[in-house]
Structure 1
Amino acid sequence: MDSSKRRMSHLTVKTEWEYSGPMPHIRFRALKEDQVCHLSSELSPLLAAAIQTSEDNFTFEHVATQFFTQGKIVESYPFVEVLWFARAQEIQDQCAKIITDKVKSIANAEDVVVVFSVLDKSAYYENGKHF
């Protein structure tokens, strides 16, 4: 069985807001690589339970970036971008809290920003086929 069929075999589409597909992609800024590596193992089981998908559906990315203010290089608070298919507000709130709590604990950060970007399933392609 090819990977796309194998991956699709565990999906159950309940409603437009409860899609549990091969998502999300999570990008971290203002964190160190080793912190993101650690977060990838800690967040996977917690978020998988929250959105009812398998742990191997997550992609974690460390984005090396530099922040500037008024012509000076500055440090920033952790910024987490979650790209995923639409889910209910309660699930999004739960995931935001899980991510915030874990990032705060590992980065010793007072502030953490989590931004959700909702992707249109018809515009998301895997191996040339949209969801």
Structure 2
Amino acid sequence: MPQLTFKGIKRQSVIDMSKELIDELQTIINVPREHFALEHVDSMYIMDGREAPEYPLIYVNLFDRGSEAEHMVAKAITKHVHHAGYQNVDVIFTILERSRYYENGERF
């Protein structure tokens, strides 16, 4: 159920990287590709009363896979975002608890 939410990056960049990124991530965390969800959020950064430059923020929601896997996921995402032409990127993890995750009303 890894969910990646992309902000501050062009939609087409996310589309272009999606296949290879999921190929790499599914190997790292051993999750079938159909369990991944990638979302692009249109956003506008604002500073001092005007639009500010985009800055890629990628939010990753997933069940705990350990710090080594988390590090490898962050590195893989960063590599793909850099390849898309962005110099800087922040990757932010939220670790989900299975006891608090429900699918169709049933605890996961």
- TM-score by length of structure 2 reads 0.95
Counterpart code for 2:19: S
Higher relative CO (Cα under 8 Å, sequence separation at least 6) belongs to 2
Structure 1 residue runs of 4+, over 6 Å off? none
- Structure 1 or 2, whichever has the larger Rg, is 1
From 53, 57, 65, the counterpart of 2:35 = 57
Could you give the per-residue CA deviations for residues 27-57 of structure 1, whole angstroms, max 9, x where no partner exists? 0011111111122211111000000111111
For 2:69 and 2:38, the matched residues in 1 are separated by 19
Unmatched tracts of structure 2, length 5 or more: none
Give the AA of the match of 1:129.
E
Q: Which residue of 1 aligns with 2:59?
A: 81
Query: Within the alignment, does 1:125 sit opposite 2:105 as a pair?
Result: no
Q: Tell me the residue number matched to 1:113.
A: 90
Q: Distance between the aligned counterparts of 1:126 and 1:38, measured in 2? A: 29
Q: Residue 9 of structure 2 contacts residue 54 of structure 2 at CA under 8 Å; is this kept in 1?
A: no
* 5+ long unaligned stretches in structure 1: 1-22
Identity of aligned residues (%): 34
Aligned residue-pair number: 108
Matched, 1:68 2:46: yes
Provide the rounded CA distance (Å) in 1 between the counterparts of 2:18 and 2:100: 26
1:104 aligns with 2:82: yes
TM-score norm. by structure 1 comes to 0.79
Cα-Cα RMSD: 0.9
